[in-house]
Structure 1
Amino acid sequence: MSAETVARTSRDRSWWGWGWADAQPDDAECVALGALVPGTLARPLPLPEVADLHIGRPAAEAPRSLGHLVTYDPEERASHAMGKAYRDVARALRGRPGRIPDLVARPARDQDVADLLEWAGERRVAVVPYGGGSSVVGGVEYRGDAHRAVLSLDLTAMDRVLEIDDDSRAARIQAGVLGPALEDRLRPHGLTLRHFPQSFEFSTLGGWLATRAGGHYATGRTHIDDFTQSLHVVTPAGTSTSWRLPASGAGPSPDRLFLGSEGTLGVITEAWMRVQERPRHKASASVSFTDFQAALLAVRALARSDLAPANCRLLDAGEAALSGASRDGHAVLVLGFESSTGPVADRLSQALELARAHGGRADADGQDRGGPADGAVGAWRSAFLRMPYLRDGLARMGAVTETFETATTWDRLPALIDAVRTEVGAAAHKATGHPAIVNCRLTHVYPDGAAPYFTVISGGRPGDEVAVWDDLKAVAGEVLHRHRATVTHHHAVGRDHRPHYDLQRPEPFARALRAVKRTLDPGGILNPGVLLDG
């Protein structure tokens, strides 16, 4: 184990908020954040304590044969009760986290998973698969009372790289490995999965697979699907293992059945993943635009070129100011290129020339320095990693903050962005009586469309923050549906996006999915309420 990994594991995760407990904003920083948003509290809400939740006795206990796998510790149960959405943080701060799991299990092998599922099925215990717990869509909590007890199935003890195939450049990896540990295990071989979602530090391979997570690449291989060679899945009806193949036309893909299934069809325990050599050449730059519409055209041209930037993120003026990438009211395009085989400076130069042709001004670059450029690029990266912690600080000040992402085609994109800014902003103002900040950035771009990511910040309604958030989520979902934009591009469906996911999917597919659920999970114990009714 590397020194870096030891340092990480010696720190405590926050049970109620994002990331490391010692990285949360202190009271003074919370007050400073609150001063930026009209209508916040005079002082921050106190940090919540597990003892204040008065967690009761578990409604079910595992048999002695499984006792070595489970814990009933109140803090463990509280930390597995929900994910890390604003809704979750606000509930924890108010002492209302929802249904607390009765027990937490950490299986070490496939047979442990199968045995736990068998026991849960016999006792009608709901099983919620759990990786890093970073879900922002209600994907790792139980809602309702149809099951006598709830088991949180934590996969993080299954965290090894089991095998590496150098000939095929692939690795067989257990699903519970967290992002940093996975990279630590691949690094001695000169390899990387090169999948870096914002939650990278606190999410697992299994979580990425189960939610079809989007990662580092802004073009090309944007989703975990693109790196998946085969899956091994334990279900109540048996184990499914797909063949390792570079490609196949043999009917519907069995892997596609479980990618994005969010733990409701089976438990992904390992996967063969396509890995690659670590990049040695990097170049990055920022480009500013006075006209956001012109910037959209520049990004579309880049997506349709063969330049394939690894990073191609467009920040509107508000998002650029929030991240410190720009203070002059300009939109900022953050560009990055990387390669394991040769210099990328020429591709960056071509991209900058294309951006200039659409009215952009190149501000800085770090051609082949092996890392991101200073200035706007560095500021954006720092803000990107720090933003979830700042959201928690704003939550302690009673502010309502929401982020949601989508994807749509280029012809619908401008109208969608305008509608979200106008309608969600108006809904926040109506709900709270305070003006709202509504920012937009593009996180992933394709030849036929893009994935905009929205940030909404407003003063709240003290004690009623979750209701305000629910209202904003409903308005946002309606806007996305009306513009035929997906309810999620990479955050998954969970429970929070269910109403609009149900409207988006074709009904024949919904019937087929229900039939698959009945076949693979006849007792209905796996993550009830995700994708399908419990």
Structure 2
Amino acid sequence: MTGVKHMKWWGWGVDGIAFHHEDKPRLAPFVLDKVGLDITTPGRRSLQLEDLTIPPSRLSDQLRATLTKIVGQANVVDDDLDRVVHTKGKSVRDLIRVRRGELGRVPDVIVYPGSHEEVQEIVDACVDADAVLIPFGGGSNIAGSLEVPLEENRQIVSVDLGRLNKVLSIDDEAGLATIQAGALGPDLEEQLGRRGWTLGHFPDSFSHSTLGGWIATRSSGMQSDKYGDIAEITRGLKMAMPGETLELRPLPSTSTGPSVREMVLGSEGRLGVITEATVQVHRLPEVREIQAYFFPSFAAGLKAMHDITRSEANVTVSRVSDERETAFSFATQKKSGGVSKLVTAGLMRVLKARGWDLDQICLSFVGFEGSKGHVARQKGIVKEIISEHGGMNVGTGPGQLYDQKKFDTPYIRDFLLDRGAAADVSETAAPWSKLKPLYDNVIEAAENALAEVDRSGYIMCHLSHSYHAGACLYFTFAIADDSPEVLERYDVVKRAIQQTFIDSGGTLSHHHGVGVEHSPWMEQDLSPAGMKIIGELFAGVDPKQNLNPGKVVHTGRPGVSVLSKQPED
């Protein structure tokens, strides 16, 4: 036994944890009204592992012997459960297909290395055998970055880095920590926290994603306004490449030609397997607080977040939901009573008396960290900005709830799939001047796409990461469809959203990566010349496409590997 734990093969998270609606009395009426779905019906039974037709492993005796010599027999695994777990990520496309039993090409073996040296030997062995190697962290990717090419006939080796999960060292003076790439978010934070440090990187997938996965997909965390995206956090790294090891020292800055560090960031396993990284860490703050605010409109909230970014405030979180997502948030609240219920009713009466349209209320969260004095000063600056844009502070209560539940959201997707709705997310980033028009265009495009496929659905949005020049808009959408054609209809909506990002001046993805889901828009995002540079970089390092082929550089449709040779339409 390797001791490495994994998520459910058929859904998000761990067994025994699931989303429930019974304690949220407003949710079922909301979903019925907005999506046309009755969530009070029992969820359908998922397939059991024994119901799946799992193709036999194609691993040769020779490659098995080589891998066993490198990592030991206990760390070379080809049982059915491990192979299915490592077949796909957690995109809605992945989950629908695996729940149908449509596994496609399954890895032939899972290898669990225990050191960088073992990873290097595995990479070299796979290249020598002309096998395909796919790095695996937490398995949480939703862009198809773990997708096995549909018609790949070579042996497929999934390299699971779960045993590489330790904080190796901390440079207290520089504020740098060297951490193995397979460390999950909770594990690395626990190890850092024991010594008074934090990485400050908390993506939605925090509980089930790894440092190496964050780097490979250019991840962002909920507190990136203060701590930066993973591209800023990562200062140095070590990566096993064919025939050699790349080692980048953790320098604060350098002027040594094109950045090799930047080439690795977002490379999704196409250049090698990241085994460790040296990252910026920060001392645990004395005070950590999230305040909630209401705005009379999404436009007002966007302007306030822009002004906060330009101000002297140094917040950790600047988030505002549109009225659609705010209504959904209200619908997911548990039943309140007593004083809490009276306070909520009283607040709504006050807002209505001020002339607010209660259907347009937008909920915002702003986070503060630091010393008591620093937090007090930041809150004062933000309070003034919020007031200038007609907003109102509603205290820390909603913020505490947000803090507690922020990693639970992905469980809702399984709940909806069980009852006949496909829910997904798409995120982008654009300059401040383009955000509101982009938002309006995406809402219109998604609703037109839903009308085109003649299905009920819902789309909502929040601003989640702010920068000097612009911000990230994070859209969540659902389509009510329990038919065999659900993926085809989902594609119409997904493509409409992605194309509108590009047409409206945004990027195809802010932090979920490219994989195969987003690669069809890469040329529009980067220009043909940009794609040529990336393609030649990958080809130069990996001419036989042994390293996670078909990702980032890709032609064809989302979810369809370039190697499958399937027609685009």
Instruction: Normalising by structure 2, report the TM-score.
Output: 0.86
Residue type matched to 1:354 in 2?
A: I
**Which one of the candidate residues 470, 473, 476 is aligned to 2:494?**
473
**Which one of the candidate residues 402, 418, 428 is aligned to 2:450?**
428
**Which one of the candidate residues 421, 425, 432 is aligned to 1:410?**
432
SS at match of 1:120: helix
Query: Contact 1:281–1:343 at 8 Å: present in 2 too?
Result: no
Residue type matched to 2:78 in 1?
A: Y
Q: What does 1:149-228 align with in structure 2 at a 5 Å threshold?
A: 149-228=155-234
Q: Which residue of 1 aligns with 2:370?
A: 339
Residue type matched to 1:348 in 2?
A: K
SS at match of 1:219: helix
**Which one of the candidate residues 130, 138, 159 is aligned to 2:136?**
130
How many percent identity over aligned positions? 31
C-alpha spacing 1:12/1:529, structure 2 compared with 1 (3 Å)? closer
Q: Which residue of 1 aligns with 2:101?
A: 95
User: Take 1:147 and 1:113, find their aligned partners in 2: how far apart are those partners?
Assistant: 23
2:489 aligned with 1:495: no
The superposition leaves residues 279-313 of structure 1 with CA deviations (integer Å, 9 ceiling, x where unpaired) of 11123321111122122111111111120210110
C-alpha spacing 1:165/1:286, structure 2 compared with 1 (3 Å)? same
Query: Contact 1:103–1:150 at 8 Å: present in 2 too?
Result: yes
SS at match of 2:278: strand
- Specify every segment of 5 or more residues in structure 1 that has no aligned partner in the other structure, as ranges: 1-8, 365-372
SS at match of 1:81: coil
How many residues are treated as equivalent by the alignment?
A: 516
Q: Which residue of 2 aligns with 1:16?
A: 10
Using the TM superposition, give the Cα deviation of residue 140 of structure 1 relative to its aligned residue in structure 2, in angstroms: 1.1
Q: Which residue of 2 aligns with 1:360?
A: 391
Using the TM superposition, give the Cα deviation of residue 40 of structure 1 relative to its aligned residue in structure 2, in angstroms: 5.8
Using the TM superposition, give the Cα deviation of residue 158 of structure 1 relative to its aligned residue in structure 2, in angstroms: 0.9
User: Take 1:15 and 1:309, find their aligned partners in 2: how far apart are those partners?
Assistant: 38
User: Take 2:479 and 2:531, find their aligned partners in 1: how far apart are those partners?
Assistant: 36
SS at match of 1:386: coil
C-alpha spacing 1:29/1:360, structure 2 compared with 1 (3 Å)? closer
SS at match of 1:186: helix
Q: Which residue of 1 aligns with 2:36?
A: 38
Query: Contact 2:76–2:112 at 8 Å: present in 1 too?
Result: yes
- Specify every segment of 5 or more residues in structure 2 that has no aligned partner in the other structure, as ranges: 334-343, 349-357, 555-562, 564-569
Query: Contact 2:236–2:278 at 8 Å: present in 1 too?
Result: yes
Instruction: Normalising by structure 1, report the TM-score.
Output: 0.91
The superposition leaves residues 455-504 of structure 1 with CA deviations (integer Å, 9 ceiling, x where unpaired) of 11231142222222222221111111111210000110111001011321
SS at match of 1:97: coil
C-alpha spacing 1:297/1:27, structure 2 compared with 1 (3 Å)? closer
**Which one of the candidate residues 314, 317, 320 is aligned to 1:308?**
314
Query: Contact 1:283–1:345 at 8 Å: present in 2 too?
Result: no
Using the TM superposition, give the Cα deviation of residue 410 of structure 1 relative to its aligned residue in structure 2, in angstroms: 1.3
Using the TM superposition, give the Cα deviation of residue 321 of structure 1 relative to its aligned residue in structure 2, in angstroms: 2.1
Aligned-residue CA RMSD (Å): 2.3
User: Take 1:433 and 1:244, find their aligned partners in 2: how far apart are those partners?
Assistant: 51
C-alpha spacing 1:462/1:487, structure 2 compared with 1 (3 Å)? same
Query: Contact 1:198–1:215 at 8 Å: present in 2 too?
Result: yes
Query: Contact 2:178–2:278 at 8 Å: present in 1 too?
Result: yes
2:245 aligned with 1:239: yes
Q: Which residue of 1 aligns with 2:540?
A: 519
Q: Which deviates further from its counterpart, 143-152 or 221-230?
A: 143-152
The superposition leaves residues 199-244 of structure 1 with CA deviations (integer Å, 9 ceiling, x where unpaired) of 1100000001111100132424431111112111111141110122
Q: What does 1:78-93 align with in structure 2 at a 5 Å threshold?
A: 78-93=84-99
Using the TM superposition, give the Cα deviation of residue 383 of structure 1 relative to its aligned residue in structure 2, in angstroms: 4.6
C-alpha spacing 1:284/1:57, structure 2 compared with 1 (3 Å)? closer
User: Take 1:201 and 1:43, find their aligned partners in 2: how far apart are those partners?
Assistant: 28
User: Take 2:124 and 2:378, find their aligned partners in 1: how far apart are those partners?
Assistant: 54
Query: Contact 1:287–1:360 at 8 Å: present in 2 too?
Result: yes
Q: What does 1:261-410 align with in structure 2 at a 5 Å threshold?
A: 261-324=267-330, 328-329=358-359, 330-339=361-370, 342-364=373-395, 373-374=396-397, 376-410=398-432
Residue type matched to 2:452 in 1?
A: K
User: Take 2:281 and 2:517, find their aligned partners in 1: how far apart are those partners?
Assistant: 33
User: Take 1:228 and 1:35, find their aligned partners in 2: how far apart are those partners?
Assistant: 44
Query: Contact 1:295–1:331 at 8 Å: present in 2 too?
Result: yes
User: Take 1:267 and 1:12, find their aligned partners in 2: how far apart are those partners?
Assistant: 19
Q: Which deviates further from its counterpart, 320-329 or 16-25?
A: 320-329
Q: What does 1:255-266 align with in structure 2 at a 5 Å threshold?
A: 255-266=261-272
The superposition leaves residues 117-155 of structure 1 with CA deviations (integer Å, 9 ceiling, x where unpaired) of 222223322111110000010011212324422211111
